[in-house]
Amino acid sequence: MKRSLNIQPARHLYSKSKIWGRNYDKQTRLDLEKYWCKRLMDRWNGRETEAKKNEAREKFYCLSMFPYPSGDLHMGHVRVYTISDTMAIYHRLNGKQVLHPMGWDSFGLPAENAARINNVDPSEWTERNIASMKKQLEDLNLFFDWDREISTCQPEYYRWTQYIFLKLYENGLAYKKQAAVNWDPVDETVLADEQVDENGRSWRSGAVVQKKWLKQWYLGTTQYTQSLLQTLDELEETVGVKSIQRHWLGEADGYFVDFNLEVNGVIIDFPIPVFCTNPGYLSSASHINLHTEHLVEFFENLSREVTN
């Protein structure tokens, strides 16, 4: 029979009355939040003031994806920002000077569609939602550097995206071309492949996604594929995304070879460019495989070439 030790458990919770009931009810939870929120915020402000006095400390940049200001947080937001907040606090407690900013992905079609549905001006709709979601993040005691807060729909922010685009255009890295895209007939916008679910429907509207040929802007990022692949070798494997990034970037070490098309003995001046990693195999090449989308694009261009 074990001897019972007369040790009273220490209480680290707050009780205004100093009387502890048997039930942990809603009011107790609200009181706890109210009490500890202020104490945690005061401690945070004290740490930040101290950190700014010591610029020599090792720096750590903790950036999570900016949310779209839809008006309310959901559990996906709570999960993501709890993780980044935990990382920021961990590195801060290890003596680092941490930058943990927050901003709002507020520029784009979703805000316009939501404003149209709710019959509200887009700027009013967006700013109201930002204020609501910011209050929720603060209520969760997530410590962001709010003095670094940005919103992508503000001219102070998007003037720089416009500037970058102009520089890309001036250097031939921004160009227009015709291509097949995923088209949402409800939102009337282009979707990335990741925004189309396994049933071929839009992740936002639920509409069946259509294939549509559009002339749109592209950025010549493939010119930097090789340098990006080489840079991956400098990252630690513990990051966990190296293989994914390498697969996404694709093979960069190779050559584009133009194949001429012959119709009824006549060579048409419209070559087919084919990427090849080993030119030594070209002598034994028997055929060229074209993706359906590329095939349609090829015959459309060929038709215009023959017509002209």
Strands (E) in the chain, as ranges, are: 59-61, 97-99, 101-104, 145-151, 174-184, 189-191, 210-219, 255-263, 266-276
pLDDT over 70 at 147, yes or no: yes
Q: CATH assignment of 40-156, given 3.40.50.620, 3.60.10.10, 2.40.30.10, 1.20.1090.10?
A: 3.40.50.620
Domain boundary assignment for the chain: 40-156, 172-249, 255-307
Name, in order, each residue with C-beta under 8 angstroms of 126's C-beta and a sequence gap of 6 or more: 69, 104, 106, 111, 115, 151, 153
pLDDT over 60 at 29, yes or no: yes
Q: Which of 35-44, 179-188, 281-290 has the lowest mean pLDDT?
A: 35-44
pLDDT by residue (tens digit) across 175-214? Answer: 998 778 899 998 888 888 888 999 999 987 889 999 888 8
- In SS3 terms, 169-208 reads as HHCCCEEEEEEEEEEECCCCEEECHHHECCCCEECCCCCE
pLDDT by residue (tens digit) across 230-269? Answer: 888 888 776 677 888 888 887 667 788 888 877 788 877 7
Select from 282, 228, 279, 272 the least CA-distant residue to 250: 228
The CATH class given to the 172-249 domain equals: mainly beta
pLDDT by residue (tens digit) across 82-120? Answer: 999 999 989 988 888 889 999 999 987 777 777 888 888
Instruction: Give the C-alpha separation, 94 to 88, whole Å.
Output: 10
Instruction: Give the C-alpha separation, 144 to 85, whole Å.
Output: 8
Give the predicted TM-score (pTM) of the model. 0.69
pLDDT over 90 at 154, yes or no: yes
**Greater confidence, 277 or 3?**
277
pLDDT by residue (tens digit) across 56-89? Answer: 788 899 999 999 887 788 899 999 999 999 999 8
Beta bridge partners of 258: 273
